[in-house]
Amino acid sequence: MLLVALGLWTDGSGKREILDWQVADTEGKAAWETLVNRLWERGVRPENGRHSVIRDGCGELGEAVAWVYGSTVLEQRCIFHKLPSAG
């Protein structure tokens, strides 16, 4: 599986950039923590413009973000993942 952190700019430029990624065996907290810690170490922090995280329903990603960023991050669940499945 591929874990990906995508940056979206809100300055009207429409800029998007893959900030980091990693191949992992699972979407577990340890795998997400590794990726999120790398982002922190590279300067992806609130004081440098990182203001929120939009994520799917993966609770482990939420736990990793809370562990690394604490309560300094606004977190929102991706609206696509809230939609009932079409079936």
The pLDDT tens digits of the residues spanning 1-40 come to 898 888 888 788 988 889 899 999 988 889 999 999 998 9
| pTM (predicted TM-score) | 0.74
Is residue 49 one of the residues assigned to a domain? Answer: yes
* Amino acid (1-letter code) at residue 3: L
Tokens of 5: 């952190």
Tokens of 55: 């994520």
Is residue 47 one of the residues assigned to a domain? Answer: yes
* Amino acid (1-letter code) at residue 45: R
Is residue 87 one of the residues assigned to a domain? Answer: no
Domain count, the chain: 1
- What is the average per-residue pLDDT within 48-69? 76
> What is the per-residue pLDDT for 86?
47
Q: Which domain holds residue 52?
A: 2-82
**φ, ψ at 49 (rounded to 5°):** 110, -5
